[in-house]
């Protein structure tokens, strides 16, 4: 089977214009079919502040009111997604910017309120791998932002790590899939204070250990869960690495395995 | 040849949520391949006001500064385009929201400053009709907002009427093309004060007459130019009509002819 790269960028890779431009250049040079998924970084919070819209957070997760959803659309689907697409085009990479509503690619459902009502937040129900494959075969490079829809007209804010994991899984019947989570660090750290303490391999046993020891950051745990979900759904390789990993696969990083 | 509809909506059809929802429902029901192009209405100006960004206008045309371009991306490519796509999906119409940068569909060049520097405004150089045709053959309904790119990484604000005209022309080698400009009035008015004074046919002679008599509104003249440009590039039919024209072709409207 042909290889495909699904890369997810977030954090500083999105925030810092130079880092982003450099990553997009490297990503453009990757041969063969590829897909990019991007988070939003702090742009949404900054715009919300400017507009006087309150951003409520519970356990590090944004509560998405109707006003917040508009801000997510403005920043993720509007400014960020389109600037990434234009930059990729500059690098001769035929990018196509997408939310899950476009082409009905990612169907989700509004998360049912239990202890917390997260607002317009979507949990993915289905990814249409066939339409993505059709685009890839036209040499198109899909670029997804963190927005899906419920097929009844409602757009939904959706975790970009989960989108990357589900898209990678949806590609697995057609390709040998590598999923890269790229960010500013070199990988998952044993000691958050020591940037060189990269854990090179994490399997499910190690994952449980890390959870029990409470050593890794709160934001990293759901990311690891997304990694294992992808591996369980036949994604071939999953790595958490610095953005430079896209151009140099030999740099130290974290590899996930079941 | 198969028929295709290229519809452009603007003004009140975009501004008024109910009118927009009703139009999108009617548009979804149109059989066969179709393309939608939308303007932005006043949303960009409203957001600019909220953010304290000045919107300079010369002769009814927006001067697009870098900050204004971000606002255009937020409103046109972000909120409006994605809400239209989600609403069409609700109506079982497989919409794909696009700027000209996506799939490199519309290449433009930054308008060279002469008497006026319009800022990040694009004049269309080329529309890739083949990629649009490929999508249409997958039953995808492309939905364009008023943004293009220069292929060197710069996004550009571009007149939606012109985008509709150029896309219609780019479809003419493959389809029998009907181009509808839909807005709140019934057509081009002989007397701006009298909404029933619809001019049913405008040919180039009549167009010149109208220009000389100075009877039609300033905003209508470039729209008419776009209509004639499309006809000259082998678009089969061009109409200026109320949004209801999409469901009822028998209502009074303006038809353009060479």
Residue B41 has pLDDT above 80, yes or no: no
**How large is the average pLDDT for residues A235-249?**
96
The share of chain A scoring above pLDDT 90, in percent, equals 82
* Beta bridge partners of residue B241, listed in sequence order: B182
Which candidate, B96, B81, B80, places its Cα nearest to that of B33? B96
| pLDDT one-digit tens code per residue, B100-152 | 999 999 999 999 988 888 999 999 999 999 999 999 999 999 999 999 999 99
Output the six-digit token pair for A233: 């759904």
**DSSP structure class, residue B192:** T
Instruction: Determine, for residues A96 and B82 on separate chains, whether the beta-carbon distance falls below 8 Å.
Output: no
At residue B7, φ and ψ (nearest 5 deg) are -110, 140
Residue A162 has pLDDT above 90, yes or no: yes
In angstroms, what separates the C-alpha of A85 from chain B's closest C-alpha? 6
Q: How many CB pairs under 8 A join A and B?
A: 110
Give the burial class of B244: count Cβ atoms within 10 A of its Cβ; 0-12 exposed, 13-18 middle, 19 or more buried: middle
Output the CA–CA distances (angstroms, integers) from residue B171 to A135, B39, B131, B192, B233, in the order listed.
Answer: 20, 20, 10, 33, 10
Which residue among A86, A103, A155 places its CB closest to the CB of B154?
A86
Instruction: Determine, for residues B85 and A102 on separate chains, whether the beta-carbon distance falls below 8 Å.
Output: yes
Chain A interface includes B138 (CB < 8 A): yes
Report chain B residues whose CB lies below 8 A from the CB of A75.
74, 78
**How large is the average pLDDT for residues A227-236?**
98
Which residue among B83, B103, B152 places its CB closest to the CB of A140?
B103
**How large is the average pLDDT for residues A149-176?**
98
Chain B interface includes A74 (CB < 8 A): yes
Domain containing A137: what range? Answer: 3-256
Instruction: Determine, for residues B90 and A153 on separate chains, whether the beta-carbon distance falls below 8 Å.
Output: yes
**How large is the average pLDDT for residues A89-105?**
98
At residue B168, φ and ψ (nearest 5 deg) are -55, -45
Distance (Å, whole) CA A25 – CA A8:
15
- Give the pairing of strands B237-242 and B201-202: unpaired
Sign of dihedral through CA atoms B135, B137, B143, B147?
positive
Output the six-digit token pair for A222: 């759901």
Contact B127, B105 (CB under 8 A): yes
Q: Which long-range contacts (CB under 8 A, 24 or more apart) does A66-71 make?
A: A66/A119, A66/A120, A68/A44, A68/A119, A68/A120, A68/A157, A69/A119, A69/A120, A69/A155, A69/A156, A69/A157, A70/B79, A71/A44, A71/A47
Return the SS3 of A237: strand
Which range (A13-17, A201-205, B111-115, B254-258) has the least confidence? B111-115
pLDDT at B60: 67
Return the SS3 of B178: strand
CB atoms within 10 A of CB A58: 11
Report chain A residues whose CB lies below 8 A from the CB of B89.
101, 104, 149, 151, 153
The share of chain B scoring above pLDDT 90, in percent, equals 82
Chain A interface includes B152 (CB < 8 A): yes
- Confidence grade of residue B237 (pLDDT, cut at 50, 70, 90): very high
| pLDDT one-digit tens code per residue, A136-152 | 999 999 999 999 999 99
Residue A70 has pLDDT above 90, yes or no: yes
Residue A19 has pLDDT above 80, yes or no: yes
The chain-wide mean pLDDT, for chain B, equals 94
Chain B interface includes A50 (CB < 8 A): yes
| pLDDT one-digit tens code per residue, B193-229 | 888 899 999 999 999 998 888 877 777 888 999 999 9
Q: B86-99 burial, b if ≥16 CB within 10 A, otherwise e? A: bbbbbeebbbbbbb
pLDDT at A5: 98
* A157 assigned to a ligand binding site: yes
- What is the tally of structural domains in chain B? 1
| pLDDT one-digit tens code per residue, B193-202 | 888 899 999 9
| pLDDT one-digit tens code per residue, B47-58 | 999 999 988 887
Chain A interface includes B99 (CB < 8 A): yes
* A62 assigned to a ligand binding site: yes
Q: State the CATH number of the domain containing residue B220.
A: 3.40.1160.10
**How large is the average pLDDT for residues A236-252?**
96
At residue B250, φ and ψ (nearest 5 deg) are -90, -10
pLDDT at A60: 67
The share of chain A scoring above pLDDT 70, in percent, equals 99
DSSP B98-126: E-TTGGG-EEEEEPPPSSS--BSBEEEEE
In angstroms, what separates the C-alpha of A148 from chain B's closest C-alpha? 9
- Give the pairing of strands A106-110 and A122-127: antiparallel
Which residue among A73, A89, A140 places its CB closest to the CB of B151?
A89
Which candidate, B173, B178, B160, places its Cα nearest to that of B226? B160
Sheet holding B155-157, edge to edge: B122-127, B106-110, B147-149, B155-157
Instruction: Determine, for residues A89 and B51 on separate chains, whether the beta-carbon distance falls below 8 Å.
Output: no
Chain A interface includes B96 (CB < 8 A): yes
Chain B interface includes A221 (CB < 8 A): no
Contact A101, A148 (CB under 8 A): yes
Output the CA–CA distances (angstroms, integers) from residue B109 to A4, B38, B103, B122, B125, in the order listed.
Answer: 34, 20, 17, 5, 7
Among A67, A76, A82, which would you mutate to test the B interface (most chain B Cβ atoms within 10 Å of its Cβ)? A82
Contact A5, A28 (CB under 8 A): no
- Confidence grade of residue B3 (pLDDT, cut at 50, 70, 90): very high
Output the CA–CA distances (angstroms, integers) from residue B197 to A2, A53, A176, A239, B192, in the order listed.
Answer: 63, 46, 64, 67, 8
CB atoms within 10 A of CB B186: 19
Which range (A53-57, B80-84, B107-111, B195-199) has the least confidence? A53-57
Which residue among B47, B82, B155 places its CB closest to the CB of A147?
B82
Torsion of CA B113, B119, B125, B127, to 10 degrees: -170
pLDDT at A102: 98
Return the SS3 of A124: strand
Residue A206 has pLDDT above 80, yes or no: yes
Among B70, B78, B110, which would you mutate to test the A interface (most chain A Cβ atoms within 10 Å of its Cβ)? B78
Instruction: Determine, for residues B101 and A89 on separate chains, whether the beta-carbon distance falls below 8 Å.
Output: yes
| pLDDT one-digit tens code per residue, A24-45 | 999 999 999 999 999 887 899 8
Distance (Å, whole) CA A86 – CA A80:
10
Chain A interface includes B217 (CB < 8 A): no
Which candidate, A117, A171, A115, places its Cα nearest to that of A142? A171
| Chain centre to alpha carbon of residue A174 | 20
Residue indicated by tokens 């206008």 = B57
Distance (Å, whole) CA B21 – CA B10:
13
Chain A interface includes B94 (CB < 8 A): yes
């Amino acid at each position: 089977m042909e290889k495909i790269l699904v890369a997810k960028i977030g954090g500083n890779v999105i925030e810092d214009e130079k880092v982003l431009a450099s990553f997009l250049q490297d990503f453009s040079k990757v041969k063969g079919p590829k897909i990019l998924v991007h988070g939003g970084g702090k742009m949404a919070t900054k715009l919300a502040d400017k507009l006087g819209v309150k951003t409520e957070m519970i356990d590090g997760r944004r509560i998405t009111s109707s006003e917040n959803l508009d801000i997510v659309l403005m920043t993720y689907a509007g400014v960020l997604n389109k600037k990434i697409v234009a930059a990729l085009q500059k690098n001769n990479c035929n990018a196509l910017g997408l939310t899950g509503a476009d082409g009905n690619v990612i169907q989700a459902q509004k998360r049912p309120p239990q202890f917390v009502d997260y607002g317009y937040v979507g949990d993915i129900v289905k990814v249409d791998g066939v339409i993505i494959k059709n685009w890839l075969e036209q040499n198109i490079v899909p670029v997804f932002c963190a927005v899906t829809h419920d097929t009844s007209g409602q757009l939904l804010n959706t975790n970009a790590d989960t989108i990357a994991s589900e898209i990678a899984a949806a590609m697995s019947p057609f390709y040998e899939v590598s999923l890269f989570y790229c960010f500013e660090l070199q990988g998952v750290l044993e000691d958050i204070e020591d940037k060189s303490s990269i854990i090179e391999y994490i399997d499910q046993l190690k994952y449980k250990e890390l959870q029990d020891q409470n050593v890794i950051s709160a934001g990293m745990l759901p990311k690891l869960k997304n990694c294992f979900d992808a591996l369980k759904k036949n994604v071939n390789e999953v790595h958490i690495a610095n953005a430079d990993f896209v151009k140099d696969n030999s740099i130290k990083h974290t590899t996930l395995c079941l």
